[in-house]
Amino acid sequence: MNRQERRNFRNGILFALPWIIGFLVLQLFPILYSFFLSFTRYNGLGAPVFIGLNNFRTLFTDTMVSLSTVNTLFYTFWLIPIGVTIAISLALAMNQKVEEVALYRALFYLPSVLPSFAMVFIWILFTNPQYGVLNRLFVSLGLPFVNWIGDPRFTKPSLVILAQYGAGGPALIFLASLRSIPKELYESADIDGCGPFRKLRSITIPMITPIILYDIIWGISAGLQAFTQAYLMSSSSSGQDAMAGPANSLLFYVFYVYRTAFMYSKMGYAAALSVMLFIASLFIAFIVFRWGRSWVFYEVDQK
């Protein structure tokens, strides 16, 4: 490099230095240190004691690990398809040429920027078995009474419904993807006599498949790391286990990692749980990306 290139490189490094330091100190170091702690017995005080693979052996025989895994996978399995469907539906609605569409877009997006703890408390009041609006609506329509926060059969579906309040964020991304679809494709479809559903199936959905894949990956990440909503809702369940909800139905995997580390002071075992979650997330993401090759359409594929 000449003198000007060296100076530009130096200035670029200086501007990027805060991010580089943050990445090394706040992300990479904790990840590597968690890998180290996963092979130790450590309670947060004193020095870690190396115990080899004992934490991982315990992990495969821990019934709470299997329970939290099932709860997490159940939540993630329903979160993704419902979330993608609602986000696409909202994007299609926000893409219509109607008056005051900007106001509607803002209203759809507003819940996604609210703090998650505020949304949880609003949802708890909304679904309260004694004075909640939702149960009153069910009763007025002749539907059965549902204890959304006290019945273990409905706590996880309740969280899946609650998560859809944040669908406005992904919907805006889908909206941007919809606006980038060439209008010539729809004009050709109109000439061929295609109806709205045929255009949706043959043009709209294939052209936004990269964003669908992105939303699926994002949903997997959010589902596997679900914690805040389960923690707050389980804490509000009176008469039940204050840290796991009714019948441990809200004991998600990250929730169990939190309890293991900060309630039971088993930092080494919690690190092993975190490492397994990290490995499982990478494996699932790899499978989804390989699966996406068969149905994701990129414009570059035409060239």
Is the model's pLDDT at 43 over the cut of 80?
yes
Fill in the DSSP letter of residue 96.
S
Nearest to 111 by CA among 55, 157, 167: 167
| Helices 168-179, 63-94: inter-axial angle, 10-degree rounding | 50
pLDDT band for 240, please (50, 70, 90 cuts): very low
Structure confidence by residue, pLDDT tens digits, 244-263:
778 888 999 999 999 999 88
pTM: 0.86
Residue 208 CB partners (closer than 8 Å, separation 6+): 88, 174, 177, 178, 181
Check residue 33 and give its pLDDT. Answer: 93
How far apart (Å, rounded) are the C-alpha atoms in residues 194 and 108? 30
Structure confidence by residue, pLDDT tens digits, 171-213:
999 999 998 888 888 888 888 888 889 989 889 999 999 999 9
Domain spans, the chain = 55-302
For the domain bounded by 55-302, which CATH number is listed?
1.10.3720.10
273 class by beta-carbon count within 10 Å (0-12 exposed, 13-18 middle, 19+ buried): buried
Check residue 236 and give its pLDDT. Answer: 65
